[in-house]
Chains A and B, each alone.
Chain A
Amino acid sequence: MSIRFSFGGDEHIFAEVSEEMSLEAFFTSLSMTNAVKQAGIKGVTEICPANASFQVKYDPDQIKPGDLLRELQSMEGAASKSDATLKTRIMEIPVYYQDPWTHETLMRFRERHQDPKATDLEYAAAVNGLGSVEDFVQAHSSQPWFVSMVGFVAGLPFLYQMVERKRQLQVPKYLRPRTDTPKLTIGHGGCFSCIYSVRGAGGYQMFGVTPMPIYDPNQQVSYLRDEMCLFRPGDIVKWKPISRDQYDADIEAVNANKFLPTIRETSFSLTDFNKDINGTNAKLMEVLHGR
């Protein structure tokens, strides 16, 4: 994998690790951005890892663009050879699939959708060759997902499904983006799921909502006092389908600031994962459920 570098104007260097998405590309991007952080290069102001690429913002009054480019290129060899192991977290995100709020929203934007007669979930099930919405929800929620990027808007995680490529769920984005998406919607576009951290525009298919806040600019939510954004690249997520009753109970707990998400420390090795995907995921579930 050879990284393609490009200047983004006079203040950014953009780096594409791979045109296509893979966990290998993500790990290279992450080890490159970690290396840039550790190098403490004068003039570097922002270091942003993404799914299969990354970006460095810098002040060209402090470092010449060409010098920074050479420095980044010199790190490439070490990054691609580095051991793809992460100390990370696994967390459970409750999801109320087929909720009334995303349903109301998707009905308002039907003319922007590939299949105006179906709901987003019905469409997603059909294009993935699954017989029913229930089968799709099962496929979506049975295996964990990897946070391969945080961004678009504040604290929004992009999630990559931890299964063999042929089993990965893929759904096209809306034909034209919506101007509205409920806060905390679980969305999906291409091979990525996401959680919309704030209400706003969006082009991903809408599957459900989570009651669990993931971004709090006021830093009042008990688990968001230190960091206003919950997710970091490398986090692992397991969706937990919940009922309307459970959703209402969770919302009540959130409003009383008593909701506590299940988050456990763990480690992840890409080599082990590639050797035995089901076995690795089963172990992650044991960590999550404290067994």
Chain B
Amino acid sequence: MAVKIIAPGLSTTVQDLGRPGYYHLGIPISGGMDRFALRAANMLVGNDESAAVLEAVFMGPEIEFTTAATVAVTGGELPPKVNGDERPTWEAFPVKAGDKLSFGFLKSGARAYIAVSGGIDVPVKLGSRSTYTLGALGGHEGRALKAGDSLPLGQGGAGKGAVPANLRRGPGNPAELRMLPGLYWHRITAEAGKQFFADTWKVAPEADRIGYRFKGGKALDFVPRTPPFGAGSDPSNIVDACYPYGSVQVPSGTEPIVLHRDAVSGGGYMMLGTIISADMDLIGQLQPHSPARFVEVTLDQALAARHDRQAAIARVRDHLQR
């Protein structure tokens, strides 16, 4: 019981809900960037929501099944095909042994989640099957998939159903990324702070599982200071500190970088604040050059948004169990 990789796509990795507990060693949580889509894909094929799936970015892989299974593709709009015939996204469909799954061109979003009944059964490393490519840890041999790889499948259950469009979640246009200011926000001037939220930014080509860079807004003005010992001379430098997931660092005050699931755990650039947990999924679906705005929220608003997202997942769960 396995899937064979005929062509890997651009960068396809095995991901689950991640590897908490090792950030203090510089090993990030990893796991699907769009966890809403990852959970939905697993629900559709009858898996535990935390089972390992394939995360494909921008371009789908080509896969052959050695066994009959149920498959679902969620997340970005990457149309699946079985032996060349198109299948719907956000809907469970069966495959037979010998069937080939391929994909058309990406229509929207950035990442697709391909769940197979039984889950991708690569070895568990530090409690997770997620791939952390920078540290060559987890997934299949610690790396993105290559042609010729064979991935074992777990024992599958039965899956069925579809997630209707009104229950899905994706970024708007421009994407609105809610941020709680804090951390080193006091390093920039009040004027620069206003401008940061007023500007419309664009996703830069340097956007990956570690972090998303944004361009096109005005450079930030810093409050003058004498550099603290050990920080470095640039006004954006701090004594190397921990970086929260979702934190927004701005090296030299020019291009904000939002750290994501494969975050570097710390470093020496000031952070303006943190994207709230509810909006991390949305970042994973942004393509380079797409517009985005940062929206200021309070901690209470962040917690309310967190509950809204949990409710959205619960609605999918309820819908599929009916």
Contacts and interface: CB of A to CB of B under 8 A. Distances in A.
Interface in A194-245: 197-198, 200, 215, 217, 228-229
A9 B303 CA distance: 9
B147 interface: no
A16 B183 CA distance: 9
Contacts of B183: 6, 8, 14
Interface in B169-197: 179-180, 182-183
A10 B180 CA distance: 8
A14 B73 CA distance: 37
Interface centre among B126, B135, B240, B276 (most CB of A within 10 A): B240
Contacts of A155: 25-27
B33 to A, nearest CB: 16
A273 interface: no
B322 interface: no
Contact of B182 (A6, A50, A51): A6
A164 B175 CA distance: 50
A172 B275 CA distance: 30
Contact of A22 (B229, B247, B274): B229
Interface size class on chain A is 35 or more
A83 B41 CA distance: 52
Nearest to B302: A10
B277 interface: yes
The B interface is mostly helix, strand or loop, or mixed, namely mixed
A105 to B, nearest CB: 17
Contacts of B244: 8-9, 11-12, 14, 55, 57
Interface centre among B126, B132, B242 (most CB of A within 10 A): B242
Interface residues of B, number: 53
Contact of A149 (B126, B138, B240): B240
Contacts of A45: 20-21
Interface centre among B20, B232, B246, B247 (most CB of A within 10 A): B232
Given A8-B274, A9-B180, A153-B135, A16 B241 contact: yes
Interface in A1-58: 6-12, 14, 16, 18-22, 45-55, 57
Contacts of A22: 229
Interface centre among B25, B229, B267 (most CB of A within 10 A): B25
Interface in B213-249: 228-233, 237-242, 244-247
Contacts of B275: 9
B98 interface: no
A75 interface: no
Contact of A172 (B125, B233, B266): B233
B295 to A, nearest CB: 13
A55 B26 contact: no
Contacts of A200: 134
B13 interface: no
Contacts of A49: 24
B23 A57 contact: yes
A275 interface: no
Given A46-B20, A149-B240, A149-B266, A198 B136 contact: yes
A57 B24 CA distance: 11
Given A7-B180, A150-B26, A154-B27, A53 B303 contact: no
A50 B241 contact: yes
Contacts of B209: none
Contacts of A153: 26, 134-135, 264-265
A221 B250 CA distance: 38
B242 A55 contact: yes
A154 B229 contact: no
A61 B313 CA distance: 15
Nearest to A16: B241
A83 to B, nearest CB: 23
A189 B24 contact: no
A48 B24 contact: yes
A189 B268 contact: yes
Interface of A: 6-12, 14, 16, 18-22, 45-55, 57, 60-61, 65, 149-156, 158, 160, 165, 172-173, 189-192, 197-198, 200, 215, 217, 228-229
24 contacts: A7-B299, A8-B182, A10-B303, A14-B182, A19-B239, A20-B228, A21-B229, A22-B229, A46-B24, A51-B230, A149-B240, A151-B265, A152-B26, A152-B265, A154-B134, A155-B25, A158-B240, A160-B230, A190-B231, A191-B230, A192-B230, A217-B137, A228-B137, A229-B26
Given A7-B299, A8-B180, 5 more contacts: A8-B182, A152-B266, A152-B267, A155-B27, A217-B137
Interface of B: 20-21, 23-27, 125-126, 132, 134-138, 142, 179-180, 182-183, 228-233, 237-242, 244-247, 264-268, 271, 273-278, 299, 302-303, 306, 310
Q: Which 8 A-B pairs have the closest CB atoms?
A: A21-B230, A8-B244, A9-B274, A20-B228, A55-B242, A151-B265, A154-B135, A151-B26
